[in-house]
Amino acid sequence: MSHFRAFEVEVLRLLGNATLGEAVVAAVCRDAELVSFYHSGVGYFLTVRHHLLPKARAVLSQPMVLGQVGEVAGSYLVFVQDNELMLEYAGTTNVPENVRDLPVKVVAQGAAT
């Protein structure tokens, strides 16, 4: 069972395929073990564990990936270390606790060519 919503899978593909590889991103999206979820009020942190993730630290921030639903907008970052991946969504305003259940539109800006 995936712990990611469809739009989060798209975010992980956009941020992770170049560094982690398509096969690893697909396996993580499909099979990762949930470590934690934390809603901060202005965003959230979703952390999973998978044996294919690297131990070495990597910050995946390119291209800039934005997510918007209604008046709520923010950006995504991915942190990888010790076989764990943390997806961070940081909003520009208060983010509703059910944001992951809403129709979030994902847009990549400044994608590498």
CB contact at 8 A, 12 and 22:
no
Q: Are 48 and 35 in contact (CB under 8 A)?
A: yes
Domain contains 13:
yes
Q: Is residue 1 part of a domain?
A: no
Specify the DSSP class assigned to residue 2.
Answer: -
Residue 58 belongs to some domain of the structure = yes
Please answer whether residues 48 and 98 qualify as being in contact, where contact means their C-beta atoms are separated by less than 8 angstroms.
Answer: no
Q: What is the pLDDT of residue 1?
A: 73
pLDDT in tens, 21-63: 999 999 999 999 999 999 999 999 999 999 999 999 999 999 9
Residue with tokens 């907008």: 73
Give the structural domain span for 45.
6-108
Does 113 fall in a domain? no
Alpha-carbon distance of 103 to 68, in angstroms, equals 9
Confirm whether 15 is domain-assigned.
yes
Domain-embedded: residue 78: yes
Q: Is 27 helix (H, G, I), strand (E, B) or coil?
A: helix
**What pTM was estimated for this model as a whole?**
0.94
Residue 75 domain-assigned (yes or no): yes
How many domains does the structure of the chain reveal?
A: 1
Q: Does the pLDDT at position 20 exceed 70?
A: yes
Amino acid 113: pLDDT: 40
